Amino acid sequence: MQKLLAVDIGGTKIACALVMQDGVLLHKRQHPTDLSGPAAVVEQIAVYAGALPERPDAIGVSLPAVLAPDTDRVVWAPNLPGWRDIPFREMLEARLGLPAALEYDGHAAVLGEWWKGAAQGYRHVASVIIGTGIGGGIITDGRLWRGRNRLAGASGWFPLAGLQGVDHWENLAAGPAIARRARQLLEAGGVSALSPASVTAKAVFDAARQGDALAQQVVGEVAAFIGQGIAMIVSLVNPEIVVLGGSIGRQGDLLLDPVREATRRWAQPVSASDLLITSSTLGEEAGLLGAAYAAFSRFA
């Protein structure tokens, strides 16, 4: 098997690429996700595949879904309307005439970083993807840890003590939480160049880089929450490296130092003592490469 069609399906966009066995990506394309249902997404993938100059040997797919352990059946994809109890792999195989392998997106991301990204050469890896939510994956002793329901690493569900009581980790540190916290401070009379009506996580990070004190406060609070969540992972899993990905996790110039400090404060001290916490080197390509790696491994 020399080349695969890799697909990274998200709630807003689909990325596709032809991936060679050495990890080289060719003909990468990205389109908005058709949210009318899984059959429409199959057609989007088929259109892309039909435009390739050469036919791939198989398909590897990353998607934000709970997958049945033995069949790849989509049990539930909360960010994709109508995706519940769907035989998506069979639909793809029937439409494209190629074998397909599906992977939970958090697992695909850690596989991508381990294969070709920041975690190359490590045997104990944790990946934390922070964007509109928080997820991730774990490599332990050189193998992906999927868990009983293929959900190991779904760390956004961690309960943490927030500013207004206990909440899930992703409700404290993901993109919507960042925008919400900035809006709260602005509506309480905080002085900032940010506008309550249009504040986003990206705007908060941009303002923090410009010296905006309110934005810097929000970033500091978020970094502390991120570090607390990572400390829980580190204490439980004892990885060598934690890779931060997603649109928030890749803000390393502002986040890495305070996240490392908070992790050292809260994690098991020996586990944290020589831990490397770094940002993704693959960015949005982590899911594509991880989906390809999973498919290469399955169909080897």
Q: Are residues 166 and 272 in the same domain?
A: yes
Q: Are residues 233 and 176 in the same domain?
A: yes
Per-residue pLDDT of the chain (300 residues; tens, 9 = 90+): 799 999 999 988 999 999 999 999 999 999 999 999 999 999 999 999 999 999 999 999 999 999 999 899 999 998 899 999 999 999 999 999 999 999 999 999 999 999 999 999 999 999 999 998 899 999 999 999 999 999 999 999 999 999 889 999 999 999 999 999 999 999 999 999 999 999 999 999 999 999 999 999 999 999 999 999 999 999 999 999 999 999 999 999 999 999 999 999 999 999 999 999 999 999 999 999 999 999 999 998
**Total domains in the fold of the chain:** 2
Q: Are residues 156 and 34 in the same domain?
A: no
Domain extent, residue 227, equals 118-279
Report the alpha-carbon distance of residue 80 to residue 133 in Å, rounded: 14
Quote the pLDDT of residue 210.
97
| Residue 83 dihedral angles phi and psi, to the nearest 5° | -95, 85
CATH number at 40 reads 3.30.420.40
Describe the crossing of helices 252-266 and 201-209 by its angle, rounded to 10 degrees: 100
Which of 75, 106, 69 minimizes the C-alpha distance to 88? 75
Q: Are residues 97 and 234 in the same domain?
A: no
Are 235 and 271 within 8 A, CB to CB? Answer: yes
According to DSSP, the β-strands at 3-9 and 58-63 are: parallel
Distances (CA, A) of 25 to 1, 103, 145, 147: 15, 18, 26, 29
Report, in angstroms and rounded to the nearest whole number, the Rg of the chain calculated over CA atoms.
19
Annotate the chain with DSSP letters as a single string. --EEEEEEE-SSEEEEEEEETTS-EEEEEEEE--TT-HHHHHHHHHHHHHTSSS--SEEEEEESSEE-TTT--EEE-TTSTT-EEE-HHHHHHHHHSS-EEEEEHHHHHHHHHHHHSTTTT-SSEEEEEESSSEEEEEEETTEE---TTS-TT-GGG-EEEEBTEEEETHHHHSHHHHHHHHHHHHHTT---S--TTT--HHHHHHHHHTT-HHHHHHHHHHHHHHHHHHHHHHHHH--SEEEEEHHHHT-HHHHHHHHHHHHHHHS-HHHHHT-EEEE-SSTTHHHHHHHHHHHHHHH-
Q: Which amino acid is at 263?
A: T
Quote the pLDDT of residue 89.
98
- With respect to residue 112, please indicate whether it lies within any of the assigned structural domains: no
- With respect to residue 68, please indicate whether it lies within any of the assigned structural domains: yes
| pTM tops 0.85, yes or no | yes
Q: Are residues 144 and 185 in the same domain?
A: yes
Looking at the DSSP bridge assignments, the partners of residue 127 are 137, 243
Quote the pLDDT of residue 79.
83
Q: Are residues 274 and 290 in the same domain?
A: no
Q: Are residues 259 and 272 in the same domain?
A: yes
Torsion sign, CA atoms 99, 101, 102, 105: negative
Quote the pLDDT of residue 180.
97
Quote the pLDDT of residue 1.
76
Report the alpha-carbon distance of residue 266 to residue 262 in Å, rounded: 6
Are 173 and 226 within 8 A, CB to CB? Answer: yes
- With respect to residue 36, please indicate whether it lies within any of the assigned structural domains: yes
